[in-house]
Amino acid sequence: MKTGSSSSSIMDMFEQGKVLKVCAPMVRYSKLAFRSLVRKYNCDICFTPMIVATDFLRSVKARDSEFTTNERDRPLIVQFAAHDAQTLADAACAVAPFSDGVDLNCGCPQRWAMSAGYGACLINKPELVKDMVRHVRNQVDNPNYTASIKIRIHKDLRRTVDLCQKAESAGVSWITVHGRTSEERHQPVHYDAIKTIKESVSVPVIANGDIKYLRDVESTHQLTGVDGVMAARGLLANPAMFAGYEDTPLQCIWDWVDISIEQGTPFTCFHHHLIYMLERVSSQPERKVFNSLSSTSSVIDYLQNTYGTVEDLGT
């Protein structure tokens, strides 16, 4: 980890009046190499994958594998899973010199997280969330360092509004709302719920869910009035989405190859990202061949032979 200096707060970015474009926390995927890629294509803020705070504090190995960054990897939000205020505050203090804020995951619907007291079960514990936010605000000695939460919604939206207002009273910097309940997966996003939450608090609100193209950023803003929009699967399929590309451009694919080689990205991760990026622009037989490749050199040969190099674009 390298320390970075951030003279201004992320909160200043919200003041500029544009809708912020944010890369979501994604387990295994929103690591340093991918963050480096999306930052080349108009992504304003990136999140790390969710990190379990107790493991992070307990193990040097966990810290080294779960959290890597560099001086160009800013603004950066580190997302933690936690269910204890002091543990979250300790984890925040550990990463504060290398990041711009921490986010408490109150939205992960996976069974393992919920049964361990993490993720979406926290939306039913507003007093605990309030306590965790307050601990971070009180113990990180950088006034510009942010403490945010990422939530899902309740069926009874009054409970979600109450949660958000309690978090606001504890000093939460902003709130990301995934517009689905913890039981919902691919059902339509409840934009009306996000709008209601936005109107119920004075801190910035970021909308999450079903952002596939740049036009979805503006339409979500129009529907909800939010201050920012967060994308996950849309960015996996097209890391250049926020720059207005409909599908992953060839330049972006070769940028990913360069970044992965430079940073020593493990082959499985390198390959998986390319499988996502090429899904919309390749045929089924092409995908079958590509998915079976097993080395970086075979992937590079395939890309050159099938799509050409960036230099070929200019000829």
Query: Would you name the residues annotated as active-site residues?
Result: 108
97 known ligand binder: no
280 annotated to a ligand binding site: no
Distance CA 252, CA 259 (A): 10
Task: Give the count of alpha carbons within 13 A of 119, CB side only.
Answer: 18
Query: Could you give the CA distance from residue 28 to residue 92 in angstroms, rounded to a whole number?
Result: 21
Whether 178 has a binding-site annotation, put simply, is: yes
Is 251 a known ligand-binding residue? no
304 is in an annotated binding site: no
Please count the other Cβ atoms lying within 10 Å of the Cβ belonging to residue 15.
Answer: 9
| b/e burial code for range 140-175 (CB count within 10 A of at least 16 → b) | beeeebbbbbbbbbbeeeeebbebbbbbbebebbbb
As a whole number of angstroms, the distance between CA 192 and CA 123 comes to 19
39 is in an annotated binding site: no
Nearest to 14 by CA among 44, 46, 49: 44
| E strand residue ranges, 76-212 | 76-81, 101-106, 146-152, 175-178, 205-208
Q: By C-alpha distance, which of 215, 175, 211 is closest to 196?
A: 175
Backbone φ and ψ of 37, nearest 5°? -70, -50
Report the alpha-carbon distance of residue 114 to residue 129 in Å, rounded: 15
Binding residue per annotation — 79?
A: yes
106 forms beta bridges with 151
Residues comprising the binding site for FMN?
Answer: 25-27, 79, 178, 232-233
Q: Which residues are annotated as a binding site?
A: 25-27, 79, 178, 232-233
